[in-house]
Structure 1
Amino acid sequence: MRNTIRTNRRGGALRRTAAAASLTLIAAAVPVALATPASASPSDCTAYLKGRGYTIGSGVKKACAAAANIPGPVGDDACWKELLDLHVKGDYAIKACGLA
């Protein structure tokens, strides 16, 4: 009988520990899941380039939109290549695409 009681107590402690761990993970995950995406946009990209003296035409807008609309480094790379083709200085292109 004592073995049964000890097993139940251990099982209860294990369940409480698992429940506490689950609640901790949920509490940590909720803010991440509900967070809004970064507030950067193609307009941040174009404003940066305009501030550096570049004319903002359809090509620049298209490049900045690529960085904003294609997730991850693929979008940044597409943006960067398009801006370089438009003769934007490399450092400026990298910074502008990172802002989009």
Structure 2
Amino acid sequence: MRDKDRTNRRGGALRRTAAAASLTLIAAAVPVALATPASASASDCTAYLKGRGYTIGPGVKRACAVAASPGGPVGDDACWRELLDLHVKESYAIKACDLA
């Protein structure tokens, strides 16, 4: 009978430890899950392109503004296409639109 009591106590301690670990993990994960993404903007996009030697005119500003507006991948795709039409190097266009 004593062995059974010892086993139950160990099992209870293990369950409490597992529960505490789970709560700790949840407590750490909730702020990360609820955090808003880093706020990028059209100015990040234009600053990136300016740093690469491009002139920042109305077309570039418009493309970056499209990417910065809510719309997700659709806005990024429109931004990317507009920048390519303005002869921005493809890899720079992708990066710039991602920054917006």
Q: TM-score range by the shorter chain?
A: 0.5 to 0.7
In 1, Cα distance between equivalents of 2:15 and 2:30: 22
Q: Which amino acid aligns with 1:70?
A: G
Alpha carbons 2:46, 2:56 under 8 Å: kept: no
TM-score, normalising length: structure 2: 0.67
The more displaced of 60-69 and 39-48 is 60-69
The corresponding residue for 1:18 is: 18
Instruction: State how 1:23-34 maps to structure 2 within 5 Å.
Output: 23-34=23-34
In 1, Cα distance between equivalents of 2:13 and 2:22: 14
The corresponding residue for 1:9 is: 9
The corresponding residue for 1:49 is: 49
The more displaced of 75-84 and 3-12 is 3-12
Q: In 2 relative to 1, CA 75–25 (structure 1 residues): closer, same or farther, beyond 3 Å? A: farther
> Number of paired residues?
98
The corresponding residue for 2:35 is: 35
- Which segments of 5 or more consecutive residues in structure 1 lack a partner in the other structure? none
Q: CA RMSD in A?
A: 2.8
Instruction: State how 1:50-89 maps to structure 2 within 5 Å.
Output: 50-51=50-51, 52-57=53-58, 59-68=59-68, 69-71=70-72, 75-89=75-89
In 2, Cα distance between equivalents of 1:60 and 1:70: 18
Instruction: Give 1:5 shift.
Output: 1.9
